[in-house]
Chains A and B, each alone.
Chain A
Amino acid sequence: EAGVTQFPSHSVIEKGQTVTLRCDPISGHDNLYWYRRVMGKEIKFLLHFVKESKQDESGMPNNRFLAERTGGTYSTLKVQPAELEDSGVYFCASSYRQGAFGETQYFGPGTRLLVL
């Protein structure tokens, strides 16, 4: 079974540009999460989808970040316009069932974003 996949693996853009990150969760997983690790800091939660609905977006830093999950399958995270402080590694994770207590989250390899 394929794991969580993310695309691209790396992205280097200039400040002010737009970048779109994609995550394909494990097939059949209802829950999809986005996390981010800024250099020198811990991995931090951004948001949580249950199927196509946003369950919790309390970690989204500001309105330059837009996440979507089309048809409850793959998800995209768009940063527009990108700022220097958006640089970091963006992880996607998925888990099987909504509401199942402490359901295991499986992580993708991450997208390394560098904003110059």
Chain B
Amino acid sequence: QKEVEQDPGPLSVPEGAIVSLNCTYSNSAFQYFMWYRQYSRKGPELLMYTYSSGNKEDGRFTAQVDKSSKYISLFIRDSQPSDSATYLCAIGSGSEKLVFGKGTKLTVNP
């Protein structure tokens, strides 16, 4: 079983839609949870970061963690064409290496 599972998509939505991206993980030792955004030919860029179960909001983005279910989500409200990118969940534990999901490619159509 992979440590982190993420549906690679692709996902295509119209502008203004609410987008839901999800990952599941297997190791309960994971303690911090991140979402990175990666534009084509660029490196991953940190979007959201949380330690605990619950919701964290930043503008149009909400990160949700459910440690009991080992499930993390990223919601994008009022999606824009500029949100078109690959979204990667990344999870860490006490060691500093990150474990990534495969990434979900999102296209927001004008």
Contacts and interface: CB of A to CB of B under 8 A. Distances in A.
Contacts, number: 57
B97 A107 contact: no
Interface in A92-116: 93, 95, 101-110
Contact of B96 (A35, A44, A48): A48
A55 interface: yes
A87 interface: no
* Range of interface residues on A (Cβ < 8 Å): 20 to 34
* Range of interface residues on B (Cβ < 8 Å): 20 to 34
Contacts of B36: 107
B24 to A, nearest CB: 13
Contacts of A74: none
A91 B97 contact: no
A103 B31 CA distance: 12
Given A31-B96, A56-B97, A42 B103 contact: yes
B4 A42 contact: yes
A108 B43 contact: yes
Nearest to A89: B43
Contacts of B65: none
A5 to B, nearest CB: 10
7 contacts: A4-B43, A35-B100, A42-B6, A48-B97, A91-B44, A93-B43, A107-B36
Given A45-B99, A102-B51, A105-B98, 11 more contacts: A35-B98, A42-B102, A42-B103, A43-B88, A43-B103, A56-B95, A56-B96, A59-B97, A102-B92, A103-B96, A104-B46
